[in-house]
Amino acid sequence: MDDTTAGTPLNDEPALPGFPAAPASAAPASPYRVLARKYRPRTFDDLIGQEAMVRTLSNAFETGRIPQAWMLTGVRGVGKTTTARILARGLNYQKADGTGQPTIHMPELGVHCQAIMESRHVDVLEMDAASHTGIDDVRQIIDGIRYSPVSARYKVYIIDEVHMLSEKAFNAFLKTLEEPPPHAKFIFATTEIRKVPVTILSRCQRFDLRRIEADKLVAHLGRICTAEGVQADAEALAAIARAAEGSARDSLSLMDQAIAHGAGVVTPDTVRDMLGLADRTQVIDLFEAVMRGDVPAAFAGLRSQYDAGADPAVILSDLAAFSHVVTRLKLIPEAAKDPALSEIERTRGTEYAQKLSVRTLSRAWQILLKGIPEVQSSNRPIAAAEMVIVRLAYAADLPTPDEALRALKDGAPVPAGGPSAPSPRPSGPTTSGNMALATSQPYPQPRPQAAVQTEPTMRLRRFEDVVALAGEKREIVLKAQLERDVRLVRFEEGRIELSLTETGSRTIANDLTRALQQWTGERWMVALSSEEGQATLHEKAVEAERERKEGAANHPLVQAVLTKFPGAQIVNVIERAEKPGEDAETEILGEADALAAHEAEDDDDLF
């Protein structure tokens, strides 16, 4: 398998900007070579996206700490086999005058470099484990490893897809891999690292080659287009980089196909037609229609892209990808600087991030994530995609469980979510200001007064009231910090003094001050004190629970039950309101009598 990252062409082909050109060849022009082979890396400087591995190898070579075996793993096309060949070249690097030592810095071709890069060097043996899986193939390696290299410094064995070896083949490797001759080195490459026995992994230095970031792939593709004299749009290169999913070889293969498809001109339209992708602008329009709850507009947008040749599953995948982009822009505004984003994704995504809640975005992601496999496995993909769109539009405004419970508790009707049939549809073009995320309803609907009330209905007279208000405002992190990380020193209306536990954050005073001012509209002063303070609310709750269980355990009837059932434990104590005319003692006795009667019935059934 040929793994490819960045690089320079071989023979008489043009070099990439910034890389040295290969020596000219007197041979006639060779047949066309695909970009994935033409621009294969020749040195570690040519690799992109693998800086950590290059730094480790550089330090190891400079200090002479060269191991006997390496294990290279990663997804397809990130450069495993290419790295293995460059590593073999570095191990055997020797200049024409006979000088040289193992190094990763190879500014010029050495004596053995060209033969190693072309996989024809007698001392660098490559084996595809997918077609040589048995113990006999490994025996040939073991028998030949005893002999010194013919011309190079080391005998290097490159075994690709090593996870395909059989169990007996792996076991035959163990002794030789642990104590090989000084002149032998092993380089393994695999895409399935979990299938490699741990006994093999423990004898190798492992390098996980990373997926190449989209911005680096876009820059690399741009350099190749310049070298090839191809006109390519930046948006088209970004689409190819996204489709490659971090694989340089896949991106170059797609680029080859796009150049042929567009007759030397790579545009977003040609890439979309070639890959069956949806128009990015239409995907964003579809996202807006769905979030607004406008099902007819969403259906029209989906059908338009389907008629243009886009795969319904790909449309939903792009919709999920844009939901992820909006979520990242909401949580990390600096993500707008990502060069892999198009201008329309950057501007409209930022606009939606300011209006959509994380709850809405998270729910949209989950629905799309579950809907994509349904569309892929359906015999009517467009119908399945429309049903996913309906599900997404109607769920855009569904309340969360805590909101539904609060509405039921307050006696307010729970919003059903989604568009209602009788509602008149607004005329004219809709804007993002009408979206469900901005109004919490797909169309303007009257809301009960209790649902829109934002001010607290009670005054904060105790610290416990502040914690309860944090829970009502869904500030879960702040509520947990107030319960577990602070001790109350003093509490007055408008002023709170707290002391921190060992796990407490010193920013909690400022966070609570801002939150209280926002919730109550009044200015509160929250200060940290050096005094010990009271126990935390969590400690008080634990102590109260312990006392309730101890009190229950000391009750004679409970002790009788525990004696009757050895090994039984008190799991929880529920305080029940006393019935009129009946005290707690009478109720416990009644339940104990019922339990005894039930046991008697069970004894009768046994006979």
Confidence (pLDDT) at 30? 67
The pTM score is: 0.54
The tokens of 542 are what? 């634990």
Q: Are 413 and 368 in contact (CB under 8 A)?
A: no
C-alpha dihedral (492, 496, 499, 502), degrees to nearest 10:
130
Confidence (pLDDT) at 579? 54
Confidence (pLDDT) at 413? 55
Q: Are 290 and 393 in contact (CB under 8 A)?
A: yes
Buried b (16+ CB within 10 A) or exposed e, 142-179: eeebeeebeebbbbbbbbbbbbbbeeebbebbeebbee
Confidence (pLDDT) at 156? 93
Confidence (pLDDT) at 278? 60
Q: Report, as ranges of residue numbers, the positions in the chain whose pLDDT lies below 70.
A: 1-30, 276-279, 339-340, 396-458, 575-607
Distance CA 105, CA 98 (A): 16
Distance of CA 496 to the CA centre of its chain: 41
Among candidate residues 51, 8, 57, the one with its CA nearest the CA of residue 33: 8
> Would you put residue 521 in left (φ > 0), alpha (ψ -120 to 50) or beta?
left
Among candidate residues 34, 9, 279, the one with its CA nearest the CA of residue 270: 279
Q: Which residues contact 214 (CB under 8 A, 6 or more apart)?
A: 238, 241, 242, 246, 338, 339, 340
Nearest-5° Cα angle at 41, 35 to 45:
140
Distance CA 536, CA 538 (A): 5
Q: Measured between alpha carbons, how far is residue 367 from residues 316, 323, 402, 445 in Å?
A: 10, 11, 20, 25
Confidence (pLDDT) at 18? 46
The tokens of 212 are what? 């190449």
Residue 72 bridge partners (DSSP): 189, 207
